[in-house]
A and B are shown apart, each in its own frame.
Chain A
C-alpha cells in the first residue's frame, strides 16, 4: 500500500470564505455538528425555563403565551435541529471515511443541504421576533389549532416554512448517504463488511425517503389553509381534523427512528472497541435495523389511540413487534461486552448510560403500545418521561459518546478524560432525577403542555425534583464546554488511532487529509484497522 500518487485537487482554504464554500464532507459534517450543538444549547435553555416555571404550581416565571412558545421551540429544535442533524452531520463526516471513499457522491448537494438546514432553523426561531411571537402549538402543530382562525401570528407560518426547508435538506442528505454507500466503497469493502454505523445510516436514509414526504404534504396543506383559503382540516367545509394527525404521524413515528438508528450505530461502533472484541451478531444487527425501519412505517396511529377513530389492534400489534428487533440489538451489545475486557473510558461510560436509560424508555414504550395503558398515559407526563428516556437518555447520551470518541479524529484534539467522566456522572444523575419522577406525575394525572398544574398530592414535590435534576444536567453540559476549552488550549497531538479502533477512519491521520486517505489497509472483514494491528489473528 505505497500509493503516493497525489490526487489532483484544489487546495482547501482555511478562511471564512473557504468554510462558506466548502464541499468537503468532513467540513460539512463539522458545520452540522457545530450548528446542531448550538441549537442544543438554545433548546436546552428553553427547557431550563420550562422546568423553572414548573418548579411550583401557579408559578409566574413566564406567561401562558410565552410558555407555549417555549415548549414548541424546545421540541421543534431538539427534534428537527439537534438530534437528527447531529446524526446526519456525524454520518457526513464518517461514512466516506468508513467505506474508504474520498468524499460523498454529491458534494455540492451535501453542502446545499447543510445551508438549508441552518436557514430552516433560523426561520423557525425568527418567529420569536414577530408581533405574536414564535409558533406556540407544540412541535406537532395539530390542526385545527394551528389554522389561521386561531393561530393568527406569522410565527406559525415561519415554523411551517422553516421545517419544510429542514425536511427537504434531510431528504437530499439521505440521497447522498445511500448513493455513496452503494457506489463508493473501496475495493474489498463489500456491503457485509461496512461498519454497523454506515448500515444504520442506510436504514435511516430509507426511513427519511418514506416518511418526510408525508410531512411535506402536511405542511403544504396547512400553509394553503392558512394563506390561500384552503380547508383541508376544517370540518365545517368538509375537511377532516384527523387528516393532520395521520399525515403527521406517518412521518412522525419513522422520524423518531431516524433519531435513534444512527445512535444505535454509534454504540455499535464504540462498545466493541472498549470491550476489545468484535461486534457480536453483525448480521443480526443489520437485519434488526431494517426490521425496525420497516415496522416503524406501520405504527403511526399508536399516537392516535385515544381518538377512537383508528384500528387500535393493528397498530398495537405492529408496535409490540418492534420490541423484538430492538431487543435483538440490546442482546447483541451485551454479548459484545460479555467476557470482554471493558475499558471504562468516557465514550464507553456514555454508551453504558445509553443502554441503561434507553432500556427504561423501551420498556415504557412497550407499555404504551397497549391501548388501554395508553388511554391513561397519552398526553400525560408519562409520555414526556418515555420520550425523554429514549431521546434524552438514549440519543443524547449517544451524542456525547460520539463526541468524545470521534473528537480526536475530527479536530486532532483529545478531550480531557477526567472532565469527561465528571460530565458523564452529572448528566446521568441529572437526567434520571429529572425524568424518572415524570412517570409518576403522569400517572398521577399531570397533563402535558401545561404551564401550571394543581397542587394535588405529590405533583409539587415531583416537579421540584425534576427541576433540580434539570439544573444538574445544565451543569453537566457546562462541564463539557469547559472540557472542550481546556483540551483545545492544551492541544496534545493525537495519533491516527488513539483508541485502538476498528474501522477505516482510524487508518488515517487525526484530522484526515483533504482527500481522506494516503493509503488503505487491506479490507478482509468489518474490522480492517484491527486486522492490520493483529495480523496473527487475521484469517489467511
Chain B
C-alpha cells in the first residue's frame, strides 16, 4: 500500500521532470516516426528535382530555399498539400506541388528528406533578445520544442525550425504577419507574428537559425 503510493509519486515526478526537457530527436525510434509511412530509399530517386533546389541532403546552400533535412515528413506532406489546394502560395512551389499528385511519391519524397540528419545552424547567431523570445514563457519553444527541433516525434503542425536558414525564417514570419501566408489552421502564427516588429523578427530568426 505504502510502496505503491511512493511509486506513483515517483512516476508523476519523473513525468513532470521529463516534460520540461523536451524532445531530443535523434533516436532510431524518433527517426522512424519522423520519416512516417514513406520509403526514403525510393524517395531519394523520386526527389531529384526537389534536390536541385533543396540540396542533395535537404540542405541548400542558398537561403532562398528552406532546408528540409530532418523535417517531419508529415509536415512536408502537409505543406505540399497546401500548395496544391492553394491555401499556401509560392510562385515556384505551387507549380512543383501540382506535379506531386501521386500519394506514394509524396510520402516517399517526404520520407527521404525526413530521414536526413536534422538541420543545424552553421553559426551561433546568439542574441539575448531572440533567445528570450524563443525560450521564455509562451515562446516559440512551447510548440517548436527545445532548440526548435520539434516537440514530438511526428508532427504535421509545428515544424522543426532550429537551424533553418535565417532569410527563410524571416520571410515566413513576415508572411504570417501580413497574412500572405495563412495556412496555419489555428491562426496562432498570424497572431504571434502580428505582434512582432521587423527588428524582433530579425532577432528571433537569427537565434533560431543558429540552433
Do A and B assemble together?
no
Point out residues on A near B: beta carbons under 8 Å.
Answer: none
Binding site for A on B (CB under 8 A): none
